[in-house]
Amino acid sequence: MAAEERRRVAVLGAGLIGVDLAGKIARSAKLELALVAGRSRDSLGLRRAAEMGHPATAGGIRAVVQSGPFDVVFDATNADSHAEHWAALRPTGTTLIDLTPTGLGTATVPGVTGHRSATHRHLHLVSCGGQASIPVLHAIAQRCTPTYIEVVSTGASASAGPATRLNLDQYIATTSAAIRTFTGTRDVKVLVNISPARPAPPFRVAMTVLADTIRPAPVRTSIAAAADAVRAYAPGFKVTSLAVDPGRIQVAVEVTPSGRHLPSHAGSVDIINAAAVLLAGQSAAASRGRQSRP
């Protein structure tokens, strides 16, 4: 792909998610990282972004608007600020991909929605737990009718930054709502564990599904296919346990970062950022398609 065809993008937020996102974008053949914007000049993330050779500023959303327009902006800040960011960016025509658990915009899980969301300008990625669980739960719901779904996400304390900790209520509410949307199940419970254990544990998501009629072989086949679909963009995703019993399905997954820059416990960051970069590339392709049509 020629350099002039790459889509100009910006990252809003310079925490662990924003810095890893910048690295993933830099390796993309479809995207050109034009700005990383944080809030504090003393931010370690901004310094790291600059050391990686990326344009970096402490101007936040104001700097993004002033430096635009961008084809895509990734919001890697916090749920409380996202509505303000969308209000500022909406008139510019950019596509905004939300990595905070606000629940605003079009709920998008690439392992389920595929390319269907690429034409929308305001996308939200639910949560890291949602990205890891919903492809599996959606696959199960195609083979039976769940009456209850429980999802327990466990992540290392070291991979949960201040914004993640502040947004736990939104995380739970948004993940629960998305699971209901993608499975048709009303009775959903989402729990989050932030583990201080040493060594830091990998990112794990355990799911329990209750249903009246379960056919084990089709369920297992669908889960395996869903895992393959996720691994196409997040190679470190794997099903670590699966039990299919009368009336109950129990499945657990782990995500290990596939890149060089994230620690092994930061699978939560890896899977949502991989989804975001994939969506940005699909959005770029959809935009070129619209422009090429008479």
**Active-site position among 11, 37, 73, 128:** 128
Q: State the Cα–Cα distance between residues 84 and 89, nearest whole angstrom.
A: 9
- Reply yes or no on whether 128 is catalytic: yes
Give residues with Cβ within 8 angstroms of 97, minimum separation 6: 72, 73, 74, 75, 123, 124, 125, 276, 279, 280, 283
Catalytic site residues?
A: 128
